[in-house]
Structure 1
């Protein structure tokens, strides 16, 4: 395999294609309950919109379009996830092949992406918007390298397109083009690309991509930003110095959490080679290094001017995804191969490529065996089936207590609209005009009664008739004997409000 990869570096993309196809099959083999982000995609797909909540809508748009083609099924969710991840590796690989002389090192850079836990595990487990952001990052880096190396109308347009979809994938993606701009300004050779009139094409294309969501954002700024601000602020502190210290420590921890394993992997695989490249640089290693440093500087400024104390490692993914490319450009400056680059990385990569699908396959049964139940251990299908058998008539709509539950019910019954309390800006006027049987489902916690928020929502859309509630308990997928998840339910017939 090493010889074949050396002679045909593009083989690595076929290998990765097979890997992601395997991951797709694994997702279809494990329980079909949905994770949190998957549920949100299914729920929001009922109402195509220019914006939804605290996350930008790019992934929602693509997923909703795919649901229209393939149907609202788990396959459509898993298919999109793995296609986007494959394209992430593809575009970063194409960028690497433009930056390094040794195509062997380009393969090393691509395989090095497998050492990011956020990319290789968390993205498969339950991420959507972050997956879109790393794809946009890969496309942006490819377009940037192509524009700086061999500028053309197409490369500038692609750069604008990548910037646009990145900004409507995750708001923190803005760090990447900002850091790249500063890195380009610093370099005398690259700086002239900023004064090329074709950069207007990039600006126009990027603006057209973000315009629909930007217009929505102007009217919903509080809704879109409040969740992110709350996550950034994290802890209450008594002084600015304490806040800055906590924020800086959090940033350092996030950096180690996201990129530490990748850096350590390269250091262990190529200790002698990397030690000899510390003071060696070329235009590409300088560019990538400056992008990462400028991004860190911008994050430190953010910590200084805001109340940020909590930086998540996944927020760094659009930036530090380029670390394997940076290390490959450093190794490429050695005239001789001191260490067997590809064979060492391939020895590790093939273990990851084999083990990760197995980990994803056994993790749900393992959680069940130990009684540490995850979202996929809950059998929503069995719960809904039993509820529908108990109610006296079939519902025309479903009201769920939260987005996660709503998405799981919606994928089981895509023929029924599924609502949750709130989200009036998304769902619009939900007042009914005819007598409607509404199935209300909630999670049973300390009390079995219907949550008050659901009752208030029902009263806003019409006049509910008297009803009785019940509960169902269903065993967990791969659960221990006697362990079960419990749901409350009620079939409420609602009449139109007078007048």
Structure 2
């Protein structure tokens, strides 16, 4: 996928285009209510291979592979079989958000998937060898997870509480060297924490996602929250649970020894899942959350295939056959996802998704037809694709922090014919001390790879700095 995108790629989707906008500079935070680690990795990769689709795909698939490998390694280090480790790894590919959505969208969710899995592996290593290096690695893994996406706090708390509940891991936490992990994690996150405190508006930019029911009716808010949470759980984890259950049913004729008591690693994982669900429910009820996105369940269920694979290891031939079926189904889905996700990359989806097909070279040439341009401003992330044409271009939308200080003249406003509201970007432009030219130029930008419509309408307006009296 990475090499194919490099050779044939056109533009990228909204999430990756947002990263292109932010990858221009190194900072402790980038707004959009998201931590900066994914963007840092993009900047590092772009410095090595250039600012292009290849760099974006390297980051995405390296993190995806890292999460899968870490899950495999954690199960093996816990003492389970290769088959169980493989079932845990391929079981992760049964999640639609991982095997499908991450291929053509999402960024920070991929990072939290990777570093949550690495955090579990760090816990295993700490239990195996109580060394100073293991405590340092645990702190780094916790910091990386925190700097990936803020909702991982639920996973961190659940894993910590689960470890406290078991004698085998409680001793490692009560060790004085655990302070090393805490200090390392805090120091690694400190610049971003400070940035967040000094940019609260950018940190809370998407706070509307957590709005409760108007009127403050507690019972109705709670019922809507629980219903929304249940729907998100079903959409996120329904498929892997169904596949595991079906695979177990198909292996019903195989021999099954009397069930063994769960070992401490299995208890740790199951308790972490249960505590994560409980903490999520508390957040929903206390915070009055009524709106959910399926991917928010990732830190809650990232350990589910691990737990199920461990349990199957204690079920004799029936468990082994079930594990083999999981590996087969996960591998088939991953292979089938390749051409489907490549099609999505080339053709996009709905009106917003088709931005990948826009001819950004043509758009750039038409924008600069009247002279060089230093900054392009727009109402949403799609315009970040212009940095695939000119990596030195400053590209801004209304969620980029320090908007006014980032503008490098000459500047233009570029708006596409989509449903995105433009009022906020107009306000940002005015507050930055700029006015729009009275002449608006409408252009037709070709769309690549055929299909209809063949072009998209884009409006270009020059921005002028207001003279200070």
Q: TM-score, normalised by structure 1?
A: 0.84
CA pair 186-404 structure 1, distance change in 2 beyond 3 A: same
Give the whole-Å Cα distance in 2 for the aligned partners of 1:52 and 1:186: 37
1:485 maps to which of 444, 456, 459: 456
Q: What's the counterpart of residue 382 of structure 2?
A: 405
2:231 maps to which of 253, 256, 278: 253
Q: What's the counterpart of residue 133 of structure 1?
A: 112
CA pair 184-373 structure 1, distance change in 2 beyond 3 A: closer
Q: What's the counterpart of residue 266 of structure 1?
A: 244
Q: What's the counterpart of residue 497 of structure 1?
A: 467
Does 1:429 find its partner at 2:405?
Answer: yes
How big is the shift at 1:360?
Answer: 1.3
Does 1:385 find its partner at 2:362?
Answer: no
Query: Is the CA contact (8 Å cut-off) linking 1:100 and 1:106 kept in structure 2?
Result: no
Does 1:457 find its partner at 2:429?
Answer: yes
CA pair 311-353 structure 1, distance change in 2 beyond 3 A: closer
Q: TM-score, normalised by structure 2?
A: 0.89
Give the whole-Å Cα distance in 2 for the aligned partners of 1:185 and 1:335: 31
SS of 1:480 mapped into structure 2: coil
Does 1:470 find its partner at 2:441?
Answer: yes
Give the whole-Å Cα distance in 1 for the aligned partners of 2:117 and 2:160: 16
Does 1:232 find its partner at 2:203?
Answer: no
2:90 maps to which of 111, 117, 122: 111
1:50 maps to which of 11, 28, 31: 28
How big is the shift at 1:171?
Answer: 0.7
Q: What's the counterpart of residue 12 of structure 1?
A: none
Does 1:290 find its partner at 2:271?
Answer: yes
Give the whole-Å Cα distance in 1 for the aligned partners of 2:56 and 2:42: 7
1:287-436 matched pairs, under 5 angstroms: 287-336=268-317, 339-363=320-344, 374-388=354-368, 391-393=369-371, 395-420=372-397, 423=400, 425-427=401-403, 429=405
Query: Is the CA contact (8 Å cut-off) linking 1:39 and 1:403 kept in structure 2?
Result: no
1:195-206 matched pairs, under 5 angstroms: 195-206=174-185
RMSD: 3.1
Give the whole-Å Cα distance in 2 for the aligned partners of 1:224 and 1:73: 28
Query: Is the CA contact (8 Å cut-off) linking 2:164 and 2:170 kept in structure 1?
Result: yes
CA pair 281-52 structure 1, distance change in 2 beyond 3 A: same
Q: What's the counterpart of residue 27 of structure 1?
A: 5
Does 1:438 find its partner at 2:411?
Answer: yes
How big is the shift at 1:220?
Answer: 2.1
Query: Is the CA contact (8 Å cut-off) linking 1:232 and 1:310 kept in structure 2?
Result: yes
SS of 1:473 mapped into structure 2: strand
Give the whole-Å Cα distance in 1 for the aligned partners of 2:156 and 2:359: 43
How big is the shift at 1:80?
Answer: 0.9
Query: Is the CA contact (8 Å cut-off) linking 2:442 and 2:457 kept in structure 1?
Result: yes
Query: Is the CA contact (8 Å cut-off) linking 2:225 and 2:289 kept in structure 1?
Result: yes
CA pair 365-146 structure 1, distance change in 2 beyond 3 A: closer
Tell me, which stretches of 5 or more residues in structure 1 are unaligned? 1-22
SS of 2:411 mapped into structure 1: strand
User: Which whole-Å deviations, capped at 9, do the CAs of 1:65-89 have from their partners, x for residues lacking one?
Assistant: 2222222111111111111111111
Give the whole-Å Cα distance in 2 for the aligned partners of 1:338 and 1:427: 56
SS of 2:204 mapped into structure 1: helix
CA pair 477-326 structure 1, distance change in 2 beyond 3 A: same
Q: What's the counterpart of residue 174 of structure 1?
A: 153
1:117-156 matched pairs, under 5 angstroms: 117-156=96-135
Query: Is the CA contact (8 Å cut-off) linking 1:235 and 1:310 kept in structure 2?
Result: no
SS of 2:176 mapped into structure 1: coil
Query: Is the CA contact (8 Å cut-off) linking 2:147 and 2:189 kept in structure 1?
Result: yes
How big is the shift at 1:413?
Answer: 1.5
User: Which whole-Å deviations, capped at 9, do the CAs of 1:26-66 have from their partners, x for residues lacking one?
Assistant: 43355421211111111112232111211111111121222
Query: Is the CA contact (8 Å cut-off) linking 2:377 and 2:411 kept in structure 1?
Result: no
Q: What's the counterpart of residue 90 of structure 1?
A: 69
Give the whole-Å Cα distance in 1 for the aligned partners of 2:158 and 2:300: 9
CA pair 146-203 structure 1, distance change in 2 beyond 3 A: same
How big is the shift at 1:181?
Answer: 1.7
